[in-house]
Structure 1
């Protein structure tokens, strides 16, 4: 089957499944399945948008062994994972079949449910940043993702009217996970002097605030936000240490941003009435998981399952790579992205886990 046709077929079937799940919940008298999930971010949430971007430098997860464990047949789907990613597993926890479709995969037939406000859309892009300048030209930055949502909303308003569209959007979850690539780009190009870092955080938070405020202005009210994880402990960063230790300076850069993000979110509801949020602490979750892998059911938290060379991170996950023996025992799938098992740990902790890794409430409580 042609890969483009395959994507369209999967998208249509996925949207049908979303509709059925919503109808079943309503028929049962429940109100547990929200109308839609709208996804913004980078590669831990991307479900294939980058496959549609032109250019040889665009990062894509469109070759084996990506998708080797994806349900329905081992095939790459544009997810940076061996199977489901974080967006998929949060969507499943909400009652959907998987993440909503990639924005750039939508065709007129597959857009029908989207513009009726059902299921949602995934706008995330591998390599994307909060700043437009982050790896510019090879991804869809956050500001453009928000504009793409504006196109979706305009279609909804035309079809449903503004009152119904806004009601559906106010009940939907807006999931954001972005910032890792901004940290990586800054670490590559800047000396980490205090003044440089302070100015960097300031512009990141300004842009993040602008994105949330713009989404709020278009009807969003419920925000599930995931902060930047311990990126210094990814296999690619560990390569810089002869002993394979975490890169403390990169982790510190991420932790500082996370503190600024936490302060931003705490203050937003005062200026945006009706806004509610849940902040998932990926940094804290990774730190706890790496400190005690066995408690999370993992055996390896420092090397890539798919890759090559030391720590499996000296080359990417390629068709000629050697896979680890037990993919469920690895935290990292490739040089910097979680396995399906790792993504499941994230989704479980943030959706309906204990208060340890979410504030002021978890994603499930946010949707109530």
Structure 2
């Protein structure tokens, strides 16, 4: 009799403990009910697959070879990208591409987040909007989702959910590439003037997001884009393009100042700026610490440094993606993104200003 009672008592404790853990995990999830992603190819999870005229797609091998499905999904990576990895940190499913939800008339995913990111997108609209989804259009799509959430949850319910959600904004790389590649842009603006206009324009767009409920922003700076394989392949010594790096670094300083100004104007927002540039340079200076043996060449591509073409089905690819910093001529490997996201999520203030993402979630 006592044995049965003891067994029942133990089972009761197990059930109570299980309920406690379940509620604890649910309460954590409720702190970040959703993540919305806007930006470029670094966080595109397949939106460009739905743009018939776009050539900026990653829906063919060898992209996705290390993704759980082992198939190309539209991510410009061998596996998961930064958006996927940050969603995992937040205990969320990876936000699906908005264009797929529209195509399938599926609104069920709106409550846990959506990705609007598009390869080729920048702060400024591209001259050919058929090739990518400009940031202004991405925000328009988000506003559509927000109105749907209001219809589903009511005004107060939608606002409560959105105010606790994380907005990941990864953009600016293509604008700087465009500036360096366009004589007209260089004639119109000095480098300093150009990056200031970039920051001012982004500020206006962030205010639009705020007007539709956004309160928590994660805004990574631009990385050391002068060190991507494409840029290294253009120099005889395979060194970084330091002019490009200098402009990226200068923009990051302007971006940090803009975010501080935005916070003073909209005191109900919180943000985390992540210094991607500093983390990337730390990897470049201490590759072995991060498990890398190859910093210059892409893993997948053709020609010099495998950077003379995108990662095409006919391309050569490295056998060990974990020891390469770069997947293709422009984009990092999943291994690199994992390092960046770790530093972004709970890294020191050396890389995050004024708080990291984990602290942002707790605000």
Answer whether TM exceeds 0.5 for this pair: yes
Q: Aligned residue for 1:70?
A: 67
Deviations 1:113-156 (A, max 9, x none): 41xx2x10000000100001366431111111111000000111
The aligned runs of 1:218-297 (5 Å cut-off) are: 218-297=212-291
Deviations 1:32-89 (A, max 9, x none): 221100000100100000000121x4300011000001103x1100000001000000
Q: Aligned residue for 2:140?
A: 147
TM-score by length of 1: 0.88
Q: Structure 1: which 5+ runs fail to align?
A: 1-22
Distance 2:336 2:323 in 1: 9
Instruction: Select which of 326, 335, 351 maps to 1:332.
Output: 326
Is the 2:311–2:328 Cα contact (8 Å) retained in structure 1?
yes
Q: Aligned residue for 2:180?
A: 187
Instruction: Select which of 46, 49, 52 maps to 1:48.
Output: 46
Instruction: Select which of 331, 343, 346 maps to 1:349.
Output: 343
Q: Aligned residue for 1:58?
A: 55
Q: Aligned residue for 1:79?
A: 75
Distance 1:124 1:41 in 2: 4
Partner SS state of residue 39, structure 1: strand
Q: Aligned residue for 1:125?
A: 118
* Number of residue-to-residue matches in the alignment: 340
Distance 2:137 2:56 in 1: 17
1:133–1:238 distance in 2 versus 1, CA, 3 Å: same
Distance 2:133 2:105 in 1: 24
1:305–1:25 distance in 2 versus 1, CA, 3 Å: farther
Distance 2:342 2:248 in 1: 22
TM-score by length of 2: 0.90
Larger radius of gyration: 2
Q: Structure 2: which 5+ runs fail to align?
A: 1-18
Distance 1:230 1:179 in 2: 12
Distance 1:124 1:174 in 2: 12
Deviations 1:198-248 (A, max 9, x none): 331232112100111111111110001111111000000111110100001
